Amino acid sequence: MGFSDLEVVMRSFLDDGKYADMTISCQEHNFKGHRAIICSQSPFFDAALNDGFKEAKSSQVNLPGDNVDTIARVLSFCYLQDYGQVDDSMNLKPDGIPRSHRGVYLAADKFGIFSLRELASSRIVNWAKSNWNLGCFPHIVEDIWCTTPPHENGLRDAIVEVVSTNIQHFLTQNEGNNVFNDNPAFTVAVLKRVASLHPLQRS
């Protein structure tokens, strides 16, 4: 069986739920899943279904506060090692794309799926590098800075790099100045990076 054949099988498990032995409930949607696939990649689900909690008896994990589309992308990654790209064809607002990836990033961190977290992070950074001139960019920057877990600096550092590289444009926007005023730690991080990019010349 080649990789493409395996992908077909895994996709059928994801789409059809055949041989499923667990359920993930999110709002009013029930996702059928397979412990061997999901729990082997996520300490969160492994603990929920194997540590004597009520979920272990019912084989059902309830996620009432999570986003259905985000959970669907998380499960897609567990089965296919990828999740569908969010693009302009989905008629989202300009900030819909990075917010969708940010949702996946935060969910991956919550569930302990670190390879997914890295993938979502790379997609956020790629978006930022290509869309730093959009009016919504400062809001996205603030959103990412304020919601990224304190133990994970990689994404924050990457966003600081993009802002520092395009600092003049960022400062021309009122929203950009507001982000600096409201987030002192972010401001300091950007100033340090700008200083390293443009060191003072001694006379």
Q: What is the pLDDT of residue 2?
A: 54
**Which residue type occupies 182?**
D
- In this prediction, residue 91 carries a pLDDT of 52
Contacts of 13 (CB under 8 A, 6+ apart): 19, 20, 34, 37, 79
The structure tokens 């603990």 sit at 47
CB atoms within 10 A of CB 34: 19
Q: Model confidence over 113-125: pLDDT tens digits?
A: 999 999 999 999 9
Which of 17-21, 50-54, 74-78 has the highest mean predicted lDDT (pLDDT)?
Answer: 74-78
Q: What is the pTM of this model?
A: 0.89
Q: Is the pLDDT of residue 46 over 60?
A: yes
Residue 62's CB: how many other CB atoms inside 10 A? 15
Band the pLDDT of 84: cuts 50, 70, 90.
confident
Average pLDDT for 150-168: 94
Mean pLDDT over 93-97 rounds to 84
Range from 40-49, 56-65, 88-97 carrying the lowest mean pLDDT: 88-97
37 and 80 in contact (C-beta within 8 Å)? Answer: no
Contacts (Cβ under 8 Å, ≥6 apart) of 146: 183
Query: Would you identify the CATH topology of the domain 1-67?
Result: Potassium Channel Kv1.1; Chain A (3.30.710)
